[in-house]
Structure 1
């Protein structure tokens, strides 16, 4: 959990631990709080779920994939802003994600400056540090 009061929390949902750690480190360096989850199911079960301001999510994961997580959030009335990050981009996945309100669809490896612009667009340009 984040020690900064009222800071936006970015939740990372990715089954690849190295991606979670690297993304979390980058987000922290930009001044935002971060929580990381190895699966969509773990994210949905977590108490931090209710404090999430933005989700950074892989598409291809075991169990519930990123698009299914997005559909679940939309269906439950909680359409959180999502930045999809995938190593396997497809026009069909991008179209489906966009139709359900995904804010950004990035390809791995992600350019740090582009990623920062995406988060600033969603969370605002003011950093919490």
Structure 2
């Protein structure tokens, strides 16, 4: 899945880098130049929500999109309230991820989140 998302992002013209674990991302020397983070909810070590919380606690404002194969409405609600921009359930359409990325990168979307197909992404 990580390779597929990376390939999609690159085909859309984004510079995409992937990591095996959240800790590897935290050690990334160019992390401050990242505009949008796409993380799985369930990863080895830190989970996606834990990674987002750690970034927020350290004062970093990286727009975050979470994806999961195991949707949980409680996790989704907590994540969106914590500032995660989108929460996608696998499998998702390329268009859903593209919409989430556009929303996350759009400064107006941070103030007025929009809904997409079947609540696939974005805040309430």
Report the TM range for the smaller structure's normalisation: 0.7 to 0.9
The 1-side partners of 2:43 and 2:104 are apart by 24
The 2-side partners of 1:123 and 1:35 are apart by 17
Bigger fraction of residues in strand: 1
Match of 1:53 in 2: 35
Match of 1:80 in 2: 62
> Where does structure 2 lack aligned partners over 5 or more consecutive residues?
107-124
2:45 to 55, 63, 66: 63
> Aligned Cα RMSD in Å?
1.0
> Where does structure 1 lack aligned partners over 5 or more consecutive residues?
1-18, 125-129
The 2-side partners of 1:116 and 1:102 are apart by 16
The 2-side partners of 1:123 and 1:67 are apart by 19
Q: TM-score by structure 2 length?
A: 0.81
What number of residue pairs does the alignment pair up?
106
2:73 to 72, 86, 91: 91
- Larger RCO: 1 or 2 (CA < 8 Å, sep 6+): 1
Match of 2:100 in 1: 118
Q: 1:79 offset after TM fit, Å?
A: 2.7
